[in-house]
Amino acid sequence: MCKNNIIIIIIIILFVFLFFSAAVYPGQEQEGVLAPENFNEARLNRLQPPDKVMDVIGIVQGMTVAEIGAGRGRYVVQLAVRVGESGKVYAEDIDSAALRHLEQRCKRWGLKNIETILGDVTDPRLPEGELDLIFVISSYHHFDDPVELMRNARSALKSDGKLAIGEWLPRDEKDSGYNTPEEMEAQMNAAGYKLERIETFLEKNNMYIYIFSIDGSQ
């Protein structure tokens, strides 16, 4: 192989390396405990930037919050750092392997304000009357019976507590995999909540964030 060919191959390898580095890392400015664990977390965090989402739903130091459908804790670690040592995060899921993974993640990073809860399909088993906010992201469409699940979650909220649901929008009229905003509101009304507002800043990424409070008349 002549010298020129070797130089061309080296340039191609460098180009491919730089291309894939750029594809994996744009916007991945978070490090340490907040760094995404894998490509998929990095991709989802780019679509649903945690700091912006937490600002909009009002997460501040000292709050007690729960994520239903927390998975392996992509957002739980973000919530835990934001609420700080004076706050607490309950990470609920029906997948025990995902929760075990999250417990290891907490141990690795010394996060002590997170408690995992293995829930039931229609009962998240959250502590009564303790929560400032219940958070759900990218999980609602996975719930077998979201109305019953969220109805059973309601008593975990303080009287002025909020429910924030980040959920994908239907891609078109034929897409029955996701709810329209009208369906989301009707379902959560049936579960005992009233819609306060819809945050649309993630619309270009096909997601709305629905903020509900407790419907005291039910």
The residue ranges that bind ligand SAM (CB under 6 A) are 68-71, 74-75, 93-95, 98, 119, 121, 137-139, 142-144, 149
Dist. CA 77–CA 89, nearest whole Å: 9
Rg of the chain over all Cα atoms, to the nearest angstrom: 20
Q: What is the DSSP string of 98-140?
A: HHHHHHHHHHHHT--SEEEEE-BTTB--PPTT-EEEEEEES-G
CB of 44 to ligand SAM, least distance (A): 6
**172: alpha, beta or left, given left = phi > 0 and alpha = psi -120 to 50?**
beta
DSSP-derived pairing of the beta strands 88-93 and 131-137: unpaired
Q: Which is nearer to ligand SAM, 45 or 64 (CB)?
A: 45
Q: Which is nearer to ligand SAM, 61 or 96 (CB)?
A: 96
DSSP conformational letter for 63: -
Q: Which is nearer to ligand SAM, 126 or 214 (CB)?
A: 126
Q: Which is nearer to ligand SAM, 12 or 151 (CB)?
A: 151
Position with the least CB separation from ligand SAM: 71
CB of 67 to ligand SAM, least distance (A): 6
Q: Which is nearer to ligand SAM, 107 or 125 (CB)?
A: 125
CB of 118 to ligand SAM, least distance (A): 9
Dist. CA 16–CA 24, nearest whole Å: 12
| Contact (CB, 8 A) for 133 and 65 | yes
CB of 146 to ligand SAM, least distance (A): 8
CB of 58 to ligand SAM, least distance (A): 18
